[in-house]
């Protein structure tokens, strides 16, 4: 079962919060998406997507991790150069956990510090 990873590509860094659509200042999530696209092995069973906004706009970059039947997590304050490897480690832990819940103490530090919310699995569909 593939892990679904969404990366918000819209957040602006705190030092450049402007919303001028003509402003081409870097968005951290775009860097993270590019970093992950290059770093995730082809056989990793991760479905990677950009997202327009995850409603955590003050904590770029922000990601959401989910999978059918598993808890979902929203995680912020990640930087690809600093936290990308930790995120890959966490994704492997998440994939191995039947319900998506990984032991708190085993989560990489940037993930522990960055978790904003978790959401329960969607109920199984009837019929």
CB-nearer residue toward ligand FES: 8 or 95: 8
Residues in the chain: 127
Return d(Cα 79, Cα 10) in angstroms, integer: 14
Kind plus residue range of the DSSP H or E element containing 35: helix 28-39
99 touches 70 (CB < 8 A): yes
Nearer to ligand FES, 64 or 95 (CB): 64
Contact track, ligand FES, 38-67, x by CB under 6 A: ---------------xxxxx----x-----
CB of 11 to ligand FES, least distance (A): 3
Q: What residue ranges bind ligand FES (CB under 6 A)?
A: 8, 10-11, 53-57, 62
């Amino acid at each position: 079962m593939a892990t679904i990873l969404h990366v918000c590509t819209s957040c602006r860094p705190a030092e450049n919060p402007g919303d001028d659509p003509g402003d081409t200042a870097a968005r951290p999530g775009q860097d993270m998406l590019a970093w992950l696209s290059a770093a995730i092995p082809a056989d990793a069973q991760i479905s990677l997507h950009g997202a327009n906004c995850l409603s955590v706009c003050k904590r770029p970059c922000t990601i959401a991790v989910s999978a059918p039947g598993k808890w979902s997590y929203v995680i912020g304050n990640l930087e690809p150069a600093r936290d990308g490897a930790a995120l890959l480690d966490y994704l492997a832990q998440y994939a191995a956990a039947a319900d998506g819940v990984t032991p708190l103490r085993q989560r990489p530090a940037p993930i522990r510090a960055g978790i904003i919310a978790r959401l329960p699995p969607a109920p199984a569909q009837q019929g």
